Amino acid sequence: MFTKAIVRRPAKSLVQGITSNPQLGKPDYDKALRQHDAYIAALEKCGVAVKVLPALEAYPDSCFMEDVALCTRKFALVTNPGAPSRRGEIEGIAEVLAGYFADIDRIRAPGTLEGGDVMMVGDRFYVGLSARTNAEGARQLVAALEKRGLSGQGVDMREMLHLKTGLSYLEEGFLLVAGEFLAAPEFASFKRIEVAPEESYAANCIRVNEHVLVPSGFPKTEARIREAGLSVILVDTSEYRKLDGGLSCLSLRF
């Protein structure tokens, strides 16, 4: 059960955020703000109290709050983002987390890790070895988990930005799976909901208590999630998609 979430308001500098999809165009800032409001409202509808941090103009990608921390049922951890332009986003995060967690750890250089590469399945955590999260960062995270009676394992990946670009655990054994992860043996035994190649963006959904937040505009994936018996709330993330961002990236939930 999630009771809290932390989000960061998008900065005007959002238009300079990192993207692998420049053909989608630059985000419209005012529309991004409206979508952010709707995202917060969707989290609140799921029963979560949302803390909104102020925008950080110096960091165009800083609204992608998930990447700077990991919140577990036992402790929180401040990451060390692999994208050099995002490293400064972690400043002040430990102080914010201290309002909620007594035990806060951190990833230290040369380890790098971004929260988008970490998928929680109960007390087990899957850590994508991506261009942003290196083996040393994953090793530090698994050690931090094991120290607290939790566990984790690395997942090889080659194509996607983050692990959760192509995977979302929807609880009750359901796993949304896309692209390179369709053939990954680690995920063979879940109740898989496969994402069609043309809808691969929709692999990034979040289960928040009784509902699944699903990006709008991906009808096949939406239908497959509903067919699994899950309650769907559609949220438009078009402006964040232009920066490779999705529903999970926009918040920390705990």
- The reply on whether position 181 binds ligand GLY by CB under 6 A is no
Catalytic pick from 36, 63, 162, 205? 162
Residues 43, 46, 61, 254: which binds ligand GLY (CB under 6 A)? 61
The residue length of the chain stands at 254
162 is catalytic: yes
- The reply on whether position 128 binds ligand GLY by CB under 6 A is no
What DSSP string describes 72-125? -SS-EEE-B-SSGGGGGGGTTHHHHHTTT-S-EEE--TT--B-GGGEEEETTEE
Residues 2, 39, 59, 64: which binds ligand GLY (CB under 6 A)? 64
Nearer to ligand GLY, 17 or 128 (CB): 17
3-state helix, strand, coil in the chain (%, to 5): 35, 25, 40
CA distance 167 to 46: 21
- The reply on whether position 59 binds ligand GLY by CB under 6 A is no
- Residue indicated by tokens 């955590």: 125
Find the binding residues for ligand GLY in span 189-228 (CB under 6 A).
none
CA distance 40 to 136: 34
Closest contact distance (angstroms) between CB of 160 and ligand GLY is 12
Q: Other C-beta atoms within 10 Å of 74: how many? A: 15
- The reply on whether position 118 binds ligand GLY by CB under 6 A is no
- The reply on whether position 15 binds ligand GLY by CB under 6 A is no
The encoded tokens of residue 100 equal 């909620």
Nearer to ligand GLY, 74 or 87 (CB): 87
Closest contact distance (angstroms) between CB of 86 and ligand GLY is 6
- The reply on whether position 243 binds ligand GLY by CB under 6 A is yes
Q: Which residues of this protein are in contact with ligand GLY, per CB under 6 A?
A: 17-19, 61, 64, 83, 86, 243-245
